[in-house]
Every structure is written in structure tokens, then in C-alpha cells.
Structure 1
Amino acid sequence: MLIADQKKPFDDPNYIYELKFDGIRCLAYLESDKVDLRNKRNKEITSLFPELNEIYLQVNSRCILDGEIVVIKNNKPDFFEVQKRTIMTNPFKIKLQADRLPAAFVAYDIIFLDNELLIDKGLEERKTLINKTVHENERIAISKVFENNGIVLFNLTKAQGLEGVVAKRKGSKYFFGKESKDWIKFKVLEDQDYVVCGYIQKPNNMTSIVIGQYNNKKELIYKGHVTLGSSLRILNQHEYKVINYSPFSDPVHTGNENAVWLEPELVCIVEYMPSNKEGLRQPVFKGIRTDKTANECIEK
């Protein structure tokens, strides 16, 4: 189930509120003797997080949990650290990283329990069941629920430099793979997914990437630049193909004369300050996504 709406913080007795975790969305299939972790694209990622291999011991029965894999660094979830795991392949290096900065699974919904699919049960009933089923430890936690004070909770997350809040309508059902307006996010910073279309190495040794999104005609539209950093290290951790032409439907854009164009296949997350003006205000490159295809990056 996906979030369909983003709004300004509000208080409403018809909603509950939870922290929005800066991690990787994941379904955890917990059997009596094993764990199977799947990302949004149903890719198995269990081997990337060996420290989570025994969280099945923390549940009463076979179940499927919806939640987030997070890595805590400097007392807050760090998206870059958890995303870095998704591109690692060497088991020894994965183990070293797991020992250095172990991940945890934060469960906020339960959609299957004791051979029963729970998606038609109301949100509060599912919350009751998850609390009866999961026994927390340092590797698995249950997302805490707050009543009424959505604005206060949002302001606290903002003060602590956290990602935001999710409001969930009481009594709402769970819809597989669908965007639902029953879940609403309050973001400290807005973000969107963009196609990586090229990069530009600047005289000050900094590198920026050229980004785009598809419109409803399936044309790739230029959306600007975002600073990547002082090297191509992050980009080089992924496979990409250099091409000799602009991939945009309208290829004429000032400032891109020195761009190295790429096959539009990689997807990145960009955070920015909310603004009524055209373009991105203070955009920040947040990372490469491996659970989304370029064709899914549609302009809003």
C-alpha cells in the first residue's frame, strides 16, 4: 500500500499519526524458521541485512509485516547508510557493515497472520494484532502511534531533523500495490523521484547530475540539476551507459553544453524546499533508488 497524498500537518480525531522513517520500505515474510525480506519491486533483499535473519524469533506466528528497514546513525535514521547496503554484493563487506551500523526493521502494519489475510480488517484492529504478535528487541520494533496531535508531532520531527509524519485514517483497509488517500504524509522536506539523464563536472571540482521526469505523453522532460558532490563515486557504484545525445524530448537547455549524457535508466531521490515557484528550491541529492524504474518517474 502506497501513500497517495501529501498535505500540510493537521489535527483530526479520525486519524492516527506515526513517524515517517527515512529507510527502505519492505515486506517481511516471517516463517517459523526463516525470514524473507522483499522491497517494493518484490526483490529479495534478505542477504543484504544478515543482522535481521532471526527476527522470526520475535513473533508468535507466521505473518507478513509491512514496515521499513532503517539504519540509525548519529541518533537518527540515515537513508544513505541503508541505501548503501542495497548495492553491496560481497558477503564479507556486508557483514562488516552490519556489525558497524546494524539495521532494524520497524513494523507498522500486519497483513497476514495465522493463515488469514488481514487486508479487509480496519487499521485499529491490525494495530492491535501487530502489538500482540511482535515482541520488540534491538532488531525489530513496532511503530508508535500518536492520537490527535499531528501538528505537534510534525513540529517535533522538524526540530529533530527527522523526515516527517504519516497520518492514517482510522478504520481504513489495506490495498496491495495501490496509492491510497487514507495514508497522508507530512514532509519536513518534499521529495520526488527523478531520472538520472547525465552529469556535469564543474571547474570547482563539483559534479552535478541532470535530472528529468516523464510527462503523461511518456516524453522525458528536463527538470534541472542537483549537486552530486566532488566526485562520481556514488554514481559509479551503479551501472550506467554513456550516450552521445541528449535523452530529453526537447534537448535544448542552457547550461548543459558540457553534459555527459546517460541512458535514462537510473532513478534518484531529490529533496527540496516547498515552493510555489517553478523549478526546485534548494534541491539536495538523497540517493539512487534500486526499487523503481525510470518509466515510473512521472511529473506531478
Structure 2
Amino acid sequence: MDIFDEKNVKPMLISEMKDAFNSPEYIYEIKWDGIRCISFLDNKSVDMRNKRNKIMIPFFPELTDLNKQAKIKCILDHELVVLKNGVPDFYEVQSRALKSNPFKIELAAKKYPASIIAYDILYYKDKDITSLPLIERKKYLSEAVVENNLLAVSRYVEDNGIELFEAVKVKELEGIVAKRKSSLYWQGKRTKDWIKCKVMANDDCVVCGYIQKANNMTSLILGQYDNDVLVYRGHVTLGVSLRIMNQYKYQIIDYSPFGYIPPGNDEAIWVRPELVCIVESMPTEKDSFRQPVFKGFRDDKLARECVVKAE
């Protein structure tokens, strides 16, 4: 079936490394801190979906006419962002994606309107172009859309990945993505053709419980899967609010989901390991997180997909 009609594109995945590098074989782009989405645009409508194929336009009604920015029928791979003072705010975009009240969604859309930053095109006119090299797809992308306040095309630099990374660090952005110029678009696959270099490390973790602390502080108990075993990964307190957590569905249980009580967790309130959160920390080779900061909850990833990263 035609991939435009099927509406089930799986985004190409990105490998991770800690150090930026220079290479004439790669282009380098800013890594925008939002929700990865695929949009299907034609002269009638826009159909935007996240990585779990959840339809997103009902949560971002200000993008209903995004298809008017497309000159031709196309499929875009892009980041869905909400900017505050010119900087992406992940909490704002993710909290919107989890709202259910249409009135609150409309208010949020007016206060902090969303936009997209397109960095790839998979379909041009009536043709699947995922088998073309990236650098050719970039040319088609620039020809396919008209930029405005709803849609921007990601700019890139050649050769100078380290220099871009240092500039991104100064601006306190998330990092960069290096992409091999000759790379094809492999749906749902992770290769070294696309590599992210991040200023801070991000980890997706399962919320396994929480501990109420003094001064209305809350500490989340974190876990990740190592194969089928849920592994204890410590706590995150900075940035956590139980009020925010209570906006999401979770079930309190009377036992530790790890099968034992890790040291220092005697006062824990345990929850069924289903809610996923993002933890930002300084890069480290250790099992625990260094200076962890809670970044937000997410619904585009299952708990079982939160795995311990291989060394």
C-alpha cells in the first residue's frame, strides 16, 4: 500500500554518542526539544502522528491548516515544538499532548502556539522517496513547503559539527544531530547514519513510586528495564511536582515493583510501573544519574521501552 494512504510511518531512529565530531560525510542540525512526529499533508488536510501513531492535531488545533504550507502532497518528518522566548519548552508541548479538555487545549493553543520544524521528507507528490540519499531529500523538502510561523525547515551546516555543538551549548539548547549525507531513510531502524550528540543526557524512566519529603518536595523513584527485569535507577527530585503527577493516571500498589525494597526507600509509596518520565542529567559512566532533573512525563513511549543503555 502507498505509505501516504497507509498512515503508519515509523520514524527512523537515532543513535547516541557523547562527543561531537567533524566529518565531510555528515551534515549537522540542531536537536530541537519537542515531540517527534510524522505529518501527511495534501490539499485537503493534515494528519499528524507521534511515534506511537497517535493523532496529534486535536491537541494542537492551531496547526489544523498546516497543509496550506505544502505546495504538493508530501510526508514530513519533523519536531513538534512550543517556543518560549525562542527556546523550545518540552514541558509545555508534552503537557498539551496529554490534555483532554477541549477548552483548556484551546486556551493553551492561544497562549503558547505550537509550530513544527521539518528536517526530512519521505514522500514527494505521489512518490515514496525514502530510498533517496538524505542530501537529495533535503532539496525536495525545501521545494515542497512554504515557511511561516507554523512551519520552519531545519537548517544544517556541513563539516563543522564541533563548532555547531559549542554554539548550541552556549545557547543552552539540547544538542545536535549528525546525519550522513548519503543515508537512506530506514523506517523504525537505528543506525550510525544518524547520531545525536547531547549537551545533557536524557533518559526515559519508569516511575515506580515516590517519597514525600519536607517542604512539600517529592522524589520520584525511577526504574528501567534490563531485558525483562525492572532495574532500580535511583531518584529524581529537582523539578518534580506531585500536583503535576496527579494529572496523570497511575495506580498505587502495596509492594515494590522491583521485587525488593532498595535501600533508602522504606517510606516509599509504590505505583504500578506504567507512567514514563524523562530525566535529564550530566553524562556519566555510572549506573546512577548525576545531578538529575525531572523534565516531564511522556505518553509516546511504553514503560517496557525504557531500557538501560548499553555501555
Q: TM-score, normalised by structure 2?
A: 0.94
What is aligned with 1:20? 31
Which of 226, 240, 243 is the matching residue for 2:250?
240
1: CA distance between counterparts of 2:137 and 2:287?
41
Structure 2: stretches of 5+ with no match in the other structure? 1-11
Q: Secondary structure at the match of 2:24?
A: coil
How far does the alpha carbon of each residue in 1:166-193 deviate from its partner, in whole angstroms, 9 at most, with x for none? 0000110001111121100110101111
Q: Contact 1:52–1:103 at 8 Å: present in 2 too?
A: yes
Instruction: Provide the C-alpha distance between the structure 1 equivalents of 2:291 and 2:257, rounded to a whole number of angstroms.
Output: 25
Structure 1 residue 165, shift from structure 2 partner? 0.3
Number of the residue aligned with 1:288: 297
Report the count of equivalent residues.
Answer: 298
Partner of 2:6: none
1:75 deviation in Å? 2.0
Inter-CA distance 171–22: structure 2 relative to 1 (3 Å threshold): same
> In the alignment, what sits opposite 2:100?
89
Counterpart of 2:206 in structure 1 is 195
Distance 1:16 1:220, change over 3 A: same
The one-letter code of the counterpart of 1:271 is E
User: Contact between 2:239 and 2:295, CA under 8 Å: does it hold in 1?
Assistant: no
- Structure 1, 120-129 or 176-185: larger mean CA deviation: 176-185
Superposition RMSD on alpha carbons, in Å? 1.1
* TM-superposed deviation, 1:31: 1.8
Instruction: Map 1:127-142; keep pairs closer than 5 Å.
Output: 127-142=138-153
| Matched residue, 1:105 | 116
8 Å contact from structure 2 (residues 239, 293) kept in 1 = no
How many Å separate the matches in 1 of 2:83 and 2:180? 28
How do 1:102-181 and structure 2 match up within 5 A? Answer: 102-181=113-192
Q: What does residue 298 of structure 1 align with?
A: 307
Give the superposition deviation at 1:70: 0.6
Letter aligned with residue 263 of structure 1: R
| Aligned match of 2:82 | 71
CA deviations on 1:58-103 (whole Å, 9 max, x unpaired) are: 1111111000001111221110111110111111211111111110
Residue number in structure 1 paired with 2:273 = 264
Residue 59 of structure 1 aligns with which residue? 70
Q: Does the 8 A contact of 2:236 with 2:293 survive in 1?
A: yes
What CA distance in whole angstroms lies between the structure 1 residues aligned with 2:140 and 2:198?
A: 28
Instruction: Report the CA distance shift for 1:222/1:132 in structure 2 as closer, same or farther (over 3 A).
Output: same
Query: Residue 6 of structure 1: CA displacement?
Result: 2.1
Q: Is the 8 A contact 2:284 2:290 kept in 1?
A: yes
Q: Which amino acid aligns with 1:17?
A: Y
CA contact (8 A) 1:39 1:45 kept: yes
Mapped contact 1:267–1:288 kept (Cα < 8 A)? yes
Alpha carbons 1:3, 1:179 under 8 Å: kept = yes
Q: Which amino acid aligns with 1:163?
A: E
**Aligned partner (choices 221, 226, 231) of residue 221 of structure 1:** 231
Work out the CA distance in 1 between the residues paired with 2:217 and 2:52.
Answer: 33
In the alignment, is the contact (CA less than 8 A) between 1:7 and 1:184 conserved in 2?
no
Q: Aligned residue for 1:6? A: 17
Q: Secondary structure at the match of 1:14?
A: strand
SS at match of 1:200: strand
Q: Is the 8 A contact 1:87 1:237 kept in 2?
A: no
Q: Give the TM-score of the pair, scaled to structure 1.
A: 0.97
* CA apart distance, 1:49: 0.7
**Whole-angstrom CA distance in 1 between matches of 2:243 and 2:39:** 31
For structure 1, the residue ranges without an aligned partner over 5 or more in a row are: none
Alignment match, 2:57: 46
Q: State the partner residue of 1:275.
A: 284
Matches of 1:229 and 1:190, distance apart in 2: 16
Contact 1:207 1:229 in 2 (8 A): no
